[in-house]
């Protein structure tokens, strides 16, 4: 009897653990206006049409004008149920009385008589390239677009955007006359949701119109989302694994049409973090020391010291050179607990070696060949999300990132090492 009871108890415990390890969180989401710096706004160009569509009416009398079109989502091919949906919005761009006039068919009824008129100066389209604050003078539109739900029923979805003249945006200028009528839209929205996990309230934000990947932010409900202007702004993407408390999740399901997403919990044992955030762990990093030409690794240098400071710099970088005396001082002050590894991202190794020797930088050095100001970067730079120079990453003996900063972070690093 005792044996049977023990077996049943073990099965119950295993079952509970299994449910816990495979737990899912369903979250209702809603579209909100992007009124903070949590996400970067997305710009899209409207397409200038060669003729006026027959369905458009009440275009105002202007000295000259053009019709433009913005597709906000793609209709499925060969689907007769969606072929008549209004998935795009039309706009008028013209001139009258030395002003540029912009009218967007906001309610998508193909009639411009009931839409607001935006008037800008003739040089607005040229100034906005250098002064993005001019976008603040453009009203936010609630553009209505038609979609079908899962049952084939048509409904309206609102897109929050601004439309304004922008000469020469994105595409090469082939026709200067047509370019004077070009319009650009700034999509100013994101999806927002709230949920509770282990008695703690959280909030989540997703920017569906991310440029390369769809960025995702999660924080406690009463905390602010991080700002794109923060040095350590690293949004997750919808393909990442991310922590919530002491557990890890991934985005299993995301559907803005039904306004729902699902987070799936995974076992901590199966989490692999190619770390770049504070609190995460670095993967193994090997490098050839510039001074000794020996192959070594971060694991090797952490055997003898409690901390390692990864310094990403270049001889071309003024702020990097400015902190050289500070790094020398740190290396001397904490020689019993700290190893520094400087990764020089430069075009040639010769000036790197010369600078190291000239300034007696007596620590580990690695060379990464490339152009830090170019568009493509080596795997290590991409994995660690090194975007500014210098970037300083302090890790402990377990390769946990305890601090991440820049040229103004020496004092903060010093205070951590002093403990």
Question: What is the 3-state composition of the chain as percent helix, strand, coil, each rounded to the nearest 5?
Answer: 20, 35, 45
What pLDDT does residue 120 have?
A: 96
Name the stretches of the chain with pLDDT < 50. 4-5, 7-21, 78, 82
Assess if residue 144 is contained within a domain. Answer: yes
Q: CB count, 10 Å around CB of 318? A: 9
CA pair distance 19, 106, nearest whole angstrom = 48
Domain count for the chain: 3
What pLDDT does residue 18 have?
A: 38
Give 9-24 pLDDT, tens digit per residue: 444 443 333 334 458 8
Both 180 and 294 in one domain: the answer is no
DSSP 23-86: -EEEEEEEEEE--SSSS--EEEEPEEPSS--TT-B-PPP-SEEEEEEEE-SPPPTT-TTTTT--
Choosing from 123, 156, 187, the residue where a domain stops is 187
Domain of residue 212 covers 23-37+190-270
What pLDDT does residue 338 have?
A: 95
What pLDDT does residue 77 have?
A: 55
Both 231 and 293 in one domain: the answer is no
Cβ-proximal residues to 152 (8 Å cutoff; 6+ apart), any chain: 81
Give 222-266 pLDDT, tens digit per residue: 999 988 888 778 788 887 778 888 888 888 888 777 689 999 988
Both 54 and 170 in one domain: the answer is yes
CA pair distance 402, 294, nearest whole angstrom = 27
Assess if residue 14 is contained within a domain. Answer: no
What pLDDT does residue 7 have?
A: 45
Both 167 and 87 in one domain: the answer is yes
Both 160 and 177 in one domain: the answer is yes
Instruction: Classify residue 100 as exposed, middle or buried by CB count within 10 Å of its CB (0-12, 13-18, 19+).
Output: buried
What pLDDT does residue 21 have?
A: 44
Assess if residue 280 is contained within a domain. Answer: no
Both 211 and 261 in one domain: the answer is yes
What pLDDT does residue 235 have?
A: 86
What pLDDT does residue 403 have?
A: 92
Assess if residue 6 is contained within a domain. Answer: no
CA pair distance 268, 19, nearest whole angstrom = 14
The answer to whether 331 and 363 are in contact (CB under 8 A) is yes
CA pair distance 406, 230, nearest whole angstrom = 11
- Predicted structure pTM score: 0.70
Both 371 and 349 in one domain: the answer is yes
What pLDDT does residue 16 have?
A: 38
What pLDDT does residue 72 have?
A: 84
What pLDDT does residue 253 have?
A: 82
What pLDDT does residue 374 have?
A: 83
């Amino acid at each position: 009897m005792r044996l049977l009871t023990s077996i049943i108890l073990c099965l119950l415990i295993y079952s509970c653990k299994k449910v816990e390890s495979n737990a899912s969180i369903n979250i209702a989401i809603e579209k909100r206006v992007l009124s903070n710096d949590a996400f970067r706004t997305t710009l899209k160009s409207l397409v200038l049409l060669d003729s006026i569509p027959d369905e458009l009416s009440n275009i105002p009398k202007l000295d000259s004008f053009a019709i433009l079109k913005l597709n906000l989502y793609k209709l499925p091919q060969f689907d007769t149920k969606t072929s008549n949906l209004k998935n795009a919005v039309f706009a008028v761009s013209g001139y009258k009385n030395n002003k540029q006039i912009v009218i967007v068919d906001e309610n998508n009824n193909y009639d411009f008589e009931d839409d607001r008129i935006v008037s800008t100066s003739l040089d607005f389209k040229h100034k906005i390239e250098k002064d993005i604050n001019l976008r603040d003078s453009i009203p936010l539109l609630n553009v209505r677009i038609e979609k079908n739900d899962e049952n084939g029923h048509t409904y309206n979805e609102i897109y929050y955007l601004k439309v304004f003249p922008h000469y020469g945006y994105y595409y090469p200028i082939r026709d200067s006359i047509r370019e004077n009528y070009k319009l650009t839209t700034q999509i100013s929205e994101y999806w927002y949701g709230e949920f509770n996990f282990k008695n703690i309230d959280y909030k989540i934000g997703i920017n569906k119109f991310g440029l390369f990947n769809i960025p995702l932010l999660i924080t406690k409900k009463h905390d602010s989302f991080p700002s794109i202007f923060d040095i350590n702004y690293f949004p997750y993407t919808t393909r990442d694994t991310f922590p919530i408390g002491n557990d890890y999740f991934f985005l299993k399901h995301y559907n803005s049409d039904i306004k729902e997403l699902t987070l799936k919990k995974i076992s901590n044992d199966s989490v692999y973090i190619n770390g770049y955030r504070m609190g995460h762990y670095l993967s193994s990093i090997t490098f050839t020391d510039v001074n000794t030409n020996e192959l070594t690794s971060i694991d090797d240098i952490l055997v003898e010291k409690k901390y390692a400071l990864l310094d990403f710099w270049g001889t071309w970088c003024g702020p990097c050179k400015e902190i050289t005396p500070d790094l020398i001082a740190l290396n001397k002050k904490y020689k019993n607990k700290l190893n520094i590894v400087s990764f020089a991202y430069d075009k040639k190794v010769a000036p790197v070696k010369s600078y190291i020797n000239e300034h007696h930088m007596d620590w580990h050095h690695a060379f990464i060949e490339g152009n830090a100001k170019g568009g493509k970067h080596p795997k290590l730079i991409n994995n660690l999300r090194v975007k500014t120079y210098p970037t300083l990453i302090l890790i402990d003996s377990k390769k946990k990132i305890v601090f991440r900063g820049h040229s103004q972070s020496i004092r903060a690093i010093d205070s951590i090492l002093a403990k």
